[in-house]
Structure 1
Amino acid sequence: MNAGFRRILEKQEEQPTFPTFTKGQRVSVMLEKRESLTAPPLRYSEADLLSQMEKYGLGTPATRAEIIERLVETETVERKNGRFYPTSKGKQLIELVNEELKSPQLTARWEKQLEAIARGNGNPKAFLRNIRKQTDRLVAEIKQSERTYRPHNLTGSMCPECGSFLKERVTKEGRMLVCSNMTCRFRKRKDPKLSHRRCPQCKKRMEIHEGKAGIYFQCRPCNVIEKAEEQKKTKLGQKERALLRKYSAENDSFSTSLGDLLKQALDKKKN
């Protein structure tokens, strides 16, 4: 056994001492029972996913982050505290698809073939022909399966345009209700739209609504309502401000609008 740094520092490790026992000696033992649960491994973070995608050759450095965002947008996975968790839709997808599609080796093999084509070492026609053939086989296997997909986000509301059920989707702008019929484009907002105006009390973004009196902002927790300004005041340039001061001083009874002042200036030049 090598002492390592202890030899340099002239330190000796203290050896534990044990009592001596004789054969047939009776000893008292105290046992303590503890109950604990094993913790599951942590879910992948974005850095973990990028590392795994690089390991298996999935995507390129320019497209890997976009692929992850696409998974979030399609509600296959969701972010929670910087970690990715599969949604109900994602779990069903894993159960429905072929084992071959679940393997990262399939996509990695396609990526290598595409890279070879880009370098001029592959046959693009043969690649597309094989892809179509393989895709037809994989889709046919899924169609023949007895398993069915059940939308996890169907609501009890009906689409006013085609009569199909509406689905609830979580987007960057809040929750949206979209038609489950792929040919129908109906969608409406479920959550109120947030504005950039901050509540004067809690400083959170206020909701924006349009009522009979016009557009107004509301903070529900604080019960604060503010009416939106009808028109924003136009900023005047340096020349316009000088013109306003000049002709306003000459004729206080004259209209002070910029258009009237310009008209007055032109009339004065003609005279």
Structure 2
Amino acid sequence: MPTEQPVFLNRLDNEEVKIYDLIVKRFLTLFYPKYKYETISTMLDINGETFVAQETNVLDLGFKALDNRKTDSDKKIQLQKGKKLTVQSVIMEQKFTEAPSRFTEADILGKMEKFGLGTPATRAEIIERLLSSEVLERQNGKLHSTPKGKQLINLVNDDLTTPDLTAKWEKELEDIAKGKANAKQFMEQIKDQTKRFVREIKHSDKSYKMQNLTGSKCPECGSFLKEKNTKNGKILVCSSLECSFSKRKDPKLSNKRCPQCHKKMEIHNGVAGTYFQCRNCNVVEKATDRKKTINKREERKLVQKYSKDESFGNSLGDLLKAAMKKDED
């Protein structure tokens, strides 16, 4: 939230001004009334075919009054039941149906809140646990089920594949917290259900097959390696739970370009230190330590920190000298 620190807009760049403006407006909306509107649904009968039209009639802008975008707040919809309208023109378009869009993390969080799954503090953790256990994976900001996740859906009891059971448990836990239910009875019920689920899996003729196994073997324990997607690219990890061996499948690319083909060079760590390599041209260059540069944000912080001291100049060089002198003292 905005603080009591005075703001000097001339010291902010264009992007920082936009961010500051967004934060201040969002903060001010907390003190505005609710946004009120009504949705009017109209059913039209045209030559025996039924068409549905929906329009929104804004009753009170409320906190949306701070939004600079244009709204239809001045538009008043006047429709009456049985009123006849004239069809000016008819345009027919032929389109193909599309599959529903993949869920994002925000979509999943909304669904979890709707069905009462988890709490606001644990919902994001649940999604991360699903990602770490490799039943879900991120692809371009969307969540996709993995072959492992699809198999598990077919292997477990149907009660475990719907949100109804978890929502029921959450409701019973809430009743226990309010003193309306018995905690001991609830735990006995959980134990009985867990035993039943495990017993069904043990006696089932279905089996789990690991989909992401590779032909390579772990150099430490001899088990097969499996491929895993991470934020930093694909890695190979040991399929044995008792072994923690892992390595990158593909070399890490750097921002350094090859002087011949201008493609990104691979970065490696050798005996002599870090080096860059282009496999196409077989060009190898040793990595050199770059001097740390100061950005505009750090420069402004230095200016604000030492500008109160009138014994120093106003240039950045004078301020850096002041900082070095204070560190020596």
Q: Given the two structures, how large is their TM-score scaled by the length of structure 2?
A: 0.54
RMSD after superposition: 4.0
2:175 and 2:127 map into 1 onto residues whose CA distance is 25
Q: Which residue of 1 aligns with 2:140?
A: 81
Residues 1:128 and 2:187 aligned together: yes
2:177 and 2:112 map into 1 onto residues whose CA distance is 20
Q: Any gaps of 5 or more consecutive residues in structure 1?
A: 17-33, 243-271
Query: Is the 1:199–1:224 contact (alpha carbons within 8 Å) kept by the matching residues of 2?
Result: no
Matches within 5 A, 1:251-262: none
Matches within 5 A, 1:28-67: 37-67=96-126
Residues 1:166 and 2:225 aligned together: yes
Cα drift, residue 165 of structure 1: 1.1
- Of structures 1 and 2, the one with the larger relative CO (CA 8 A, separation 6+) is 1
Q: Which residue of 1 aligns with 2:200?
A: 141
Residues 1:115 and 2:145 aligned together: no
The one-character-per-residue Cα deviations of 1:122-157 (angstroms, maximum 9, x if unpaired) are 433333322222111101101211111111100111
Query: Is the 2:225–2:236 contact (alpha carbons within 8 Å) kept by the matching residues of 1?
Result: yes
Q: 1:239 to 1:96 in 2, by over 3 A?
A: same
Residues 1:228 and 2:287 aligned together: yes
Report the secondary structure of 2:197's partner residue. helix
Cα drift, residue 228 of structure 1: 2.6
Query: Is the 2:234–2:250 contact (alpha carbons within 8 Å) kept by the matching residues of 1?
Result: yes
Query: Is the 1:75–1:89 contact (alpha carbons within 8 Å) kept by the matching residues of 2?
Result: yes
Cα drift, residue 166 of structure 1: 1.1
2:169 and 2:178 map into 1 onto residues whose CA distance is 14
2:162 and 2:242 map into 1 onto residues whose CA distance is 32
Q: Which residue of 2 aligns with 1:210?
A: 269
Cα drift, residue 194 of structure 1: 5.5
The one-character-per-residue Cα deviations of 1:91-128 (angstroms, maximum 9, x if unpaired) are 11111111111121111111122233344444333333
1:94 and 1:238 map into 2 onto residues whose CA distance is 62
What is the count of residue pairs matched by the alignment?
A: 216
Q: Which residue of 1 aligns with 2:30?
A: none
Q: 1:80 corresponds to which letter in structure 2?
A: Q
1:53 and 1:83 map into 2 onto residues whose CA distance is 16
1:220 and 1:63 map into 2 onto residues whose CA distance is 45
Q: Any gaps of 5 or more consecutive residues in structure 2?
A: 1-43, 45-76, 293-319
Report the secondary structure of 1:136's partner residue. helix
Q: Given the two structures, how large is their TM-score scaled by the length of structure 1?
A: 0.64
Q: Which residue of 2 aligns with 1:199?
A: 256
Q: 1:5 to 1:176 in 2, by over 3 A?
A: same
Q: 1:36 to 1:238 in 2, by over 3 A?
A: closer
Report the secondary structure of 2:209's partner residue. coil
Q: 1:67 to 1:232 in 2, by over 3 A?
A: same
Query: Is the 1:199–1:219 contact (alpha carbons within 8 Å) kept by the matching residues of 2?
Result: no
